[in-house]
């Protein structure tokens, strides 16, 4: 179900009215009010996602259950009592053993989630490239499965939860309904922002109250997002697609104009969808993180990547770049870390060599600013918002 579809235009008001003015009043005196409120979010989100292909509901449910279960297992390990008679080296040995168990649980969940992502998104790509390299037939080797919509988004969201629980940044939640709502929350399920458990999950652990001003603000942001998507992006796409489809017959000035239009198209698409997601979440009393901050007003490539797809950039920064040493290592390793980040970012966008080339290109552009800034590098500094949120 797309945000700019008739189905969503009917789905959203129905869910909104049921959520606040029918279902919420029905359960207002129930001691399970919060859980039932979250259960309604899960049902609505699964209807939203299953509208495209109901079979992939099993996949998101499996990812959600495994990630929730990993948190519960880590909490069980954390709660294990250490023999009070142990002292010195014996006590340290027991603590290290428990820490290794937590690490094993986290690693297993990460591997499982990435394996699912790899099978659906990258398996056919790697098999095809390997077969072409060694001139092997791919008959019977390709899965030819449909790529589940939003799998990259909710997989990264699930991974962040497991990693943050392991690091002690968030307590594992026992509330499986709230956790399923956190993973499947429909406004940001298929196009982000990629939320962290530290921000989104606690909002499902407390009751939401309807706020008129917040709802009006949400509607305003939805309309602005639709303007970006339908008026700006879709109209630019008509010209861009026609020019790029016949690029061999076009003049240089026409190709340049199409490239400029394309920059507006992709910004209108991505930023517009993010605005609709953030605005829709506000209608349900949920605050999502900002995902774009007028990136085309950036002064250099480093600032651009602090303003563009912020949820993805900061995800790679916190869970890949900094654990690799960030910029607090030798210059050779800074170069390595930068290329890893951008190559992964390119590959995250799609299983295609063009995305990998795009990642390498941006890594090369980014390196001078990153090395020059030393410890105060572009991945470690987050630009504070100074512009109107709707941009």
Chain-centre distance of CA 327, in angstroms?
Answer: 24
Q: Which two tokens stand for residue 319?
A: 């869970």
Q: Which two tokens stand for residue 344?
A: 């992964």
Nearest C-alpha neighbor of 345 from the set 295, 305, 293, 391: 305
| Rg (alpha carbons) of the chain, rounded to whole number | 23
- Residue 286: which region, alpha, beta or left (left: phi > 0; alpha: psi -120 to 50)? beta
Q: Which of 135, 309, 349, 362 is catalytic?
A: 349
Contact 170, 256 (CB under 8 A): no
* Catalytic (active site) residue 349: yes
Contact 173, 165 (CB under 8 A): no
Nearest C-alpha neighbor of 74 from the set 173, 140, 153, 197: 173
Q: Please tell me whether residue 287 adopts helix, strand or coil conformation.
A: coil
Annotated active-site positions, please?
349
């Amino acid at each position: 179900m797309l945000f700019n579809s008739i189905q969503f235009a009917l789905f959203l008001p129905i869910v909104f009215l049921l959520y606040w003015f029918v279902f919420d009043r029905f359960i207002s005196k129930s001691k399970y009010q919060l859980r039932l409120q979250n259960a309604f979010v899960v049902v609505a989100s699964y209807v939203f996602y299953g509208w495209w292909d109901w079979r992939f509901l099993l996949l998101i449910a499996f990812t959600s259950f495994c990630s929730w279960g990993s948190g519960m297992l880590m909490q069980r390990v954390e709660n294990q009592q250490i023999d009070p008679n142990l002292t010195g080296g014996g006590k340290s040995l027991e603590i290290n053993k428990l820490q290794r168990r937590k690490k094993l649980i986290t690693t297993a969940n990460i591997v499982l989630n990435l394996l699912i992502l790899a099978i659906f998104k990258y398996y056919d790509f790697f098999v095809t490239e390997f077969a072409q390299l060694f001139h092997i037939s791919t008959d019977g080797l390709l899965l030819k499965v449909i790529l589940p919509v939003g799998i990259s988004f909710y997989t990264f969201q699930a991974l962040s939860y497991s990693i943050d629980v392991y690091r002690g940044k968030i307590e594992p939640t026992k509330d499986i309904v709230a956790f399923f709502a956190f993973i499947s929350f429909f406004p940001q399920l298929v196009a982000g922002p990629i939320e962290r458990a530290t921000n989104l999950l606690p909002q499902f652990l407390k009751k939401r109250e309807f706020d008129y001003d917040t709802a009006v603000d949400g509607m305003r942001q939805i309309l602005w997002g639709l303007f970006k998507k339908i008026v700006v992006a879709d109209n630019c796409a008509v010209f861009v697609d026609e020019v790029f489809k016949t690029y061999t017959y076009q003049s240089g000035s026409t190709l340049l104009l199409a490239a400029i239009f394309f920059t507006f198209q992709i910004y209108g698409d991505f930023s517009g969808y993010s605005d609709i997601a953030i605005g829709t979440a506000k209608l349900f009393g949920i605050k999502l993180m900002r995902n774009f901050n007028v990136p085309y007003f950036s002064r250099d490539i480093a600032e651009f990547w602090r303003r563009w797809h912020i949820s993805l950039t900061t995800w790679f920064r916190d869970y890949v770049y900094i654990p690799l040493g960030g910029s607090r290592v030798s210059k050779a390793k800074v170069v390595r870390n930068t290329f890893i980040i951008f190559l992964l970012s390119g590959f995250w966008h799609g299983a295609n060599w063009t995305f990998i080339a795009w990642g390498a290109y941006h890594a090369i552009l980014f390196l001078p600013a990153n090395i020059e800034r030393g410890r105060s590098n572009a991945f470690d500094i987050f630009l504070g918002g100074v512009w109107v949120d709707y941009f």
